[in-house]
């Protein structure tokens, strides 16, 4: 059975702003591999748009098109009051940043067990979800991780 994964906003940013660079190409591949059974959190999508607006405002139209496409391809996890409570628990018990905790709680609630991120500690495991830095894995390792 395929593993359910979610994406941190940094993966989305690399795919958009560094599309022809090695990390951008790798990020696009991670998105492609995660899409069939993946979940994406609105918080990650909004962080992505905010970073694009700040770093390269002319890419905003492309970023919006990507957000709309990703929202159709991935299950989009809502941020409910229960997610808010869980995120606050994660912030206090595990010292994650607030926005990372929101993504974590929403994705975990939607069944994700892998959180692709460059910013969080590779291998960190909380509540049966673990962080995987996709830039430290080959395509074959990523594919095997998602389809054991």
Which domains does the chain possess?
5-136 (3.40.50.1010)
Does 91 score more than 90 pLDDT? yes
pLDDT in tens, 132-143: 999 999 989 999
Per residue, the 3-state secondary structure of the chain, as one string, reads: CCCCEEECHHHHHHHHHCCCCHHHHHHHHHHHHHHHHCEEEHHHHHHHHHHHHHHCHHHHHHHHHHHHHHHHHCEEECCCHHHHHHHHHHHHHHCCCHHHHHHHHHHHHCCCCEEECCCCCCCCEECCEEEECHHHCCHHHHHHHHCC
Give the pLDDT of residue 134. Answer: 96
**2 pLDDT above the threshold of 90:** no
pLDDT score of 1 more than 80: no
* pLDDT at residue 125 tops 80: yes
In this prediction, residue 54 carries a pLDDT of: 96
Read off the pTM.
0.94
Residue 123 has pLDDT above 80, yes or no: yes
């Amino acid at each position: 059975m395929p593993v359910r994964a979610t994406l941190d906003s940094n993966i989305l940013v690399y795919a958009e702003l560094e599309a022809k660079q090695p990390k951008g190409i790798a990020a696009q591949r991670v998105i492609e591999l995660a899409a069939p059974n993946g979940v994406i959190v609105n918080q990650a999508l909004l962080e992505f748009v905010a970073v694009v607006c700040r770093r390269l405002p002319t890419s905003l139209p492309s970023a919006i098109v990507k957000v709309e496409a990703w929202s159709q391809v991935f299950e989009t996890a809502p941020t409910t009051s229960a997610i808010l409570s869980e995120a606050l628990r994660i912030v206090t018990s595990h010292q994650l940043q607030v926005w990372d905790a929101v993504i974590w709680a929403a994705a975990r609630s939607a069944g994700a067990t892998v959180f692709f991120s460059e910013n969080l500690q590779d291998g960190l495991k909380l509540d049966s979800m673990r962080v995987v830095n996709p830039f430290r894995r080959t395509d074959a390792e990523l594919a095997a991780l998602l389809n054991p």
